């Protein structure tokens, strides 16, 4: 009898330890699995109770959905808005005490909006090498009502800080506070998919590109001394005798200020604005090695009038140089190279071409919907930090 009682006590003790299993963590997601017609501007949130999230993988169709865990590893949240009219899948694993795990597999679908807006174009081009003054110009397919929301979704990753400024309801322009360092890399993403830009209007898709900044080539033109000096990385690369606008009218006056090279052609057809053939001042010419620096018809181009170059201003507003030197400038120009003109009675307007460096930093910020700069860091994770 004593042996039987002792054996029973041991079995009770051992059996009590063996059957104790801690509860599995509980995982929930929002939107709930099976939901249809989800607003794209609502985030995906996955939570774990009684454990830590050890894996969260979400897809928008076949594309991975970006998201972040909080410091406690109990909450995962999608980073950006969701693509409209898309099925999303979410798979999560949580681990609790003594390694007990639980899993979640869910799916939902976002609504298809009545109206959508997308990025029509971005300047510069993807993988382009640009000059140190290059802006990022984003044009949308329609007017943007909630500009602050769109600015927050326009991510620029590169050195230094910059800010967006609106040039109208369909165009936003990014300019760094100081010119890009030569050799730097810049990545841009418009996280537009699912972004609510106005009542009943959502972004249709994201848009991304990256570009490199080339050598620092900055040209200075003095219309009074009729000289142009091109410096690359601080060293004089070329000195050019030039002839600028004759200045007899506003139209024939070269604008003073910080221009950027915008595009180039060889040749470029130049026709006098507002004049018909036979009228005084009419011209229709093919001009070689022409680099455009504004929207008011200003180019640095070739012209075989050596008698005027270095001596007198006789052009209709352009800056002309000897053909061999103009060709050199043409061959060595990148879009976004600064061309600084002084010595004339007409100031370059900030929105004449890419005259964005004409504005002070405070004036540039005044055109932002957020009125705040963005500190960018190519190595940072997630969106840009505003301060």
Catalytic residues: 301, 318
Q: How far apart, in whole angstroms, are the C-alpha atoms of residue 211 and residue 192?
A: 20
Nearest Cα neighbor of 196 from 58, 40, 57, 319 is 40
Phi, psi angles (nearest 5°) of residue 227: -130, 145
Q: Which helix H or strand E contains 147, and what residues bound it?
A: helix 147-153
Widest Cα–Cα separation across the chain: 131
List of residues 6+ apart from 169 with CB closer than 8 A:
143, 144
Q: How far apart, in whole angstroms, are the C-alpha atoms of residue 161 and residue 177?
A: 6
Q: Which helix H or strand E contains 139, and what residues bound it?
A: strand 136-140
| End-to-end Cα distance, the chain | 81
Per DSSP, 264 falls in state E
Rounded to 5°, the CA angle 344-346-351 comes to 130
Phi, psi angles (nearest 5°) of residue 18: -70, -30
Per DSSP, 24 falls in state P
Per DSSP, 83 falls in state P
């Amino acid at each position: 009898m004593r042996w039987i009682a002792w054996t029973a006590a041991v079995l009770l003790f051992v059996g009590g330890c063996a059957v104790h299993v801690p509860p599995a963590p509980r995982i929930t997601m929002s939107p709930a699995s099976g939901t249809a017609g989800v607003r794209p501007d609502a985030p995906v949130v996955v939570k774990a109770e009684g454990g830590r999230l050890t894996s969260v993988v979400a897809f928008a169709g076949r594309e991975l959905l970006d998201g972040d865990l909080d410091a406690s590893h109990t909450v995962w949240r999608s980073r950006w808005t969701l693509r409209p009219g898309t099925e999303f899948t979410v798979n999560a694993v949580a681990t609790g005490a003594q390694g007990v795990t639980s899993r979640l597999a869910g799916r939902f679908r976002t609504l298809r909006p009545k109206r959508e807006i997308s990025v029509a174009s971005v300047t510069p081009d993807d993988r382009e090498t640009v000059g140190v003054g290059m802006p990022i110009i984003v044009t949308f397919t329609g007017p943007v009502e909630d500009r602050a929301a769109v600015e927050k979704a326009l991510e620029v990753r590169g050195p230094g800080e910059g800010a967006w400024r609106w040039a109208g309801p369909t165009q936003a322009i990014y300019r760094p506070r100081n010119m890009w360092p030569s050799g730097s890399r810049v990545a841009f993403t418009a996280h537009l998919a699912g972004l609510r830009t106005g009542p009943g209007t959502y972004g249709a898709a994201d848009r991304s590109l990256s570009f490199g900044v080339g050598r620092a080539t900055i040209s200075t033109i003095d219309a009074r001394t009729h000289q142009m000096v091109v410096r690359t990385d601080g060293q004089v690369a070329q000195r050019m005798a030039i002839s600028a606008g004759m200045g007899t009218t506003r139209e024939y006056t070269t604008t003073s200020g910080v221009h950027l090279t915008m595009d180039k052609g060889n040749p470029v057809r130049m026709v006098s604005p507002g004049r018909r053939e036979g009228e005084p001042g009419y011209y229709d010419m093919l001009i070689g090695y022409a680099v455009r620096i504004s929207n008011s018809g200003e180019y640095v181009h070739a012209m075989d009038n050596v008698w005027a170059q270095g001596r007198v201003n006789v052009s209709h507003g352009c800056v002309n140089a000897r053909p061999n030197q103009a060709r050199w400038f043409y061959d060595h120009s990148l879009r976004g190279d600064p061309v600084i003109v002084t010595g004339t009675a007409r100031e370059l307007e900030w929105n004449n071409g890419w005259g964005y460096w004409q504005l002070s930093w405070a004036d540039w910020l005044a055109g932002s919907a957020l009125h705040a700069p963005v500190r960018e860091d190519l190595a940072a994770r997630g969106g840009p930090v505003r301060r």
